[in-house]
Structure 1
Amino acid sequence: MSATDCPLPDEGEFWLFGYGSLIWKPPPHFDRRIPGWVTGYVRRFWQASQDHRGTPEAPGRVVTLISRSYWEQLTDHHDSAPDKVWGVAYRIIPERVAEVKEYLDIREINGYTIHYTPFHPAPDVDASLLPGTSEGHIKTLVYIGTPDNEQFVGPQDPQELAEHIYRSEGPSGLNRDYLWGLEKALDLLSSESGDEHVTDLSNRVRAVAVREEGKIQADIEILRAQSPVNVSPGLESLHHHHHHHGFHKVSSVDEQEETEKAS
């Protein structure tokens, strides 16, 4: 089912839940952004990305949600997960809902399907920003790469996954920038919004980056010692590429990156 086929979740109000890139890369035409959480799910880097953080020949890795009941049946090296999956809910301006639904359908073509889930706003959210609900939650639309989709890769050894993320890159940029962007965005939501799976992978990828950067620097020093005036500009450039860990604008593709698979 596409977003354009779906009814409005809450009597004319269209709310979208983001648990990955959507946290820091909003959809167009929203007028409210609410931090909070959903329950009953586990967030994992178990979805392949062939179109944004990888290629069909070398897919990257991005996050999806897995039902906790299904996850508990699996063998996961990260054997614990928070009860709350923190993220952000966006209310789309009513007159732009159809346009945003079409945008999301295009953005979410690589294995993600539509689901609805109750979203619980953080306690410090201004009540005036929330729709009137007697149960204290908002019904939100969310894109999930379920285990039966072709891009779902399932449990992976954390170190092997970190090495894979470090190496991967696609039209929207480096896979590791996506991981570090998610880690930073989660840390900014709340004092309790961190995710051990994301944090551990981020630390492992940082260690890989230090290791690989050290190898490149060592190669440069060897070449300088052998021929001080003929160090390859390409090798110097590669060292600079690995040294840069900040966010960057890569192309217009970046603006169209999928809701839960962005940088």
Structure 2
Amino acid sequence: MTSDVTEDLWLFGYGSLIWKPPPHFDLRVPGHVEGYVRRFWQASEDHRGTPEAPGRVVTLIDRSHWETLTDQHSDAPPTTWGAAYRIPGPHVAEVREYLDIREINGYSIQYTPFHVSEAFNATHDLPAPINCLVYVGLPDNPQFMGPQDLDSLAEHIVNSRGPSGENKDYLYGLDQALVELGEGSEDEHVHDLARRCRELEGRTSKDDDNQTETSIVGSELKRLGSTDEQEEIEK
């Protein structure tokens, strides 16, 4: 007899999913994956930009491929930090359908081992590693931009906006969320871009000193009960 019970789903978020969690999760776990490099190399036509003027969001690049490219940020940590979410079996189909629709702009489904933070696992009994679903903008997708000049990228982010808001808010929110994940979770690529964007804002908008304070999306994590409540799902 075939069982109708669906197994729990583990989802890894390395962008805004870190601070804007999916609906129906019952556990959020900090940790990292290996073998990837996080970069702001994915165009966003649906969230932080428009089809006419795409913004920029993060994707994961296979480290072996990244090493063949010329990147102004020539160093990258061996691990990519983020948050994994456990979706209970009864909600998996709903969440998968919703995520697949929201992630359609160039991202594809991959699976990767996720390593739980040692500090977190000291008080939890979780498998090591956890096989996680992750949405990745592969290099052959039409939204993949590849290496970009950092100053030009920062200027582009500052000037971009879309249905989900200012592109810079996405960057600042990610920078803050990574710092709050735990020791060693910072990402120099993200942090340096945030610094460049803030400096650019300071030079071009002297009357908007409070904007960089309010633009950090914040770290308050809200557990959502349905996909209808989820205003934005990004990577």
TM-score normalized with structure 2 length:
0.88
In 1: Cα distance, 2:234 partner to 2:116 partner:
20
Of 174, 197, 218 in structure 2, the residue corresponding to residue 182 of structure 1 is: 174
Deviation string 1:40-67 (CA, Å, 9 cap, x unpaired) is 0000000000011001110000000000
In 2: Cα distance, 1:29 partner to 1:129 partner:
20
Of 200, 214, 225 in structure 2, the residue corresponding to residue 245 of structure 1 is: 214
Aligned pair count reads: 222
In 1: Cα distance, 2:168 partner to 2:191 partner:
12
Q: Which consecutive residues of structure 2, in runs of 5 or more, have no partner in the other structure?
A: 218-227
Please show how residues 101-180 of structure 1 align to structure 2 within 5 Å.
101-126=96-121, 129-131=124-126, 133=127, 136-180=128-172
Q: Which residue of 1 aligns with 2:34?
A: 39
Q: Which residue of 2 aligns with 1:28?
A: 23
> What secondary structure sits across from 1:118 in the alignment?
strand
**What residue identity is the alignment partner of 1:153?**
M
RMSD, matched Cα: 2.3
Say whether residues 1:206 and 2:198 are aligned partners.
yes
> What secondary structure sits across from 2:119 in the alignment?
coil
Structure with the higher fraction of residues in helix conformation: 1
In 1: Cα distance, 2:142 partner to 2:199 partner:
30
Maintained 8 Å contact 2:22/2:230: no
Deviation string 1:199-257 (CA, Å, 9 cap, x unpaired) is 1000000001101113xx4xxxxxxxxxxxxxxxxxxxxx5895763357xxxx99442
Q: Which residue of 2 aligns with 1:220?
A: none
Maintained 8 Å contact 2:198/2:212: no
In 1: Cα distance, 2:196 partner to 2:116 partner:
31
1:127 Cα offset (Å):
5.8
> What secondary structure sits across from 2:177 in the alignment?
helix
Indicate the percent of aligned positions where both proteins have the same amino acid: 58
Assess, with a 3 A threshold, how the Cα gap between structure 1 residues 247 and 192 changes in structure 2: closer, same or farther: closer
> What secondary structure sits across from 1:185 in the alignment?
helix
TM-score normalized with structure 1 length:
0.79
Say whether residues 1:257 and 2:232 are aligned partners.
yes
1:258 Cα offset (Å):
3.1
Say whether residues 1:63 and 2:63 are aligned partners.
no
> What secondary structure sits across from 1:98 in the alignment?
helix
1:12 Cα offset (Å):
2.0
Of 45, 53, 66 in structure 2, the residue corresponding to residue 50 of structure 1 is: 45
Q: Which residue of 1 aligns with 2:221?
A: none
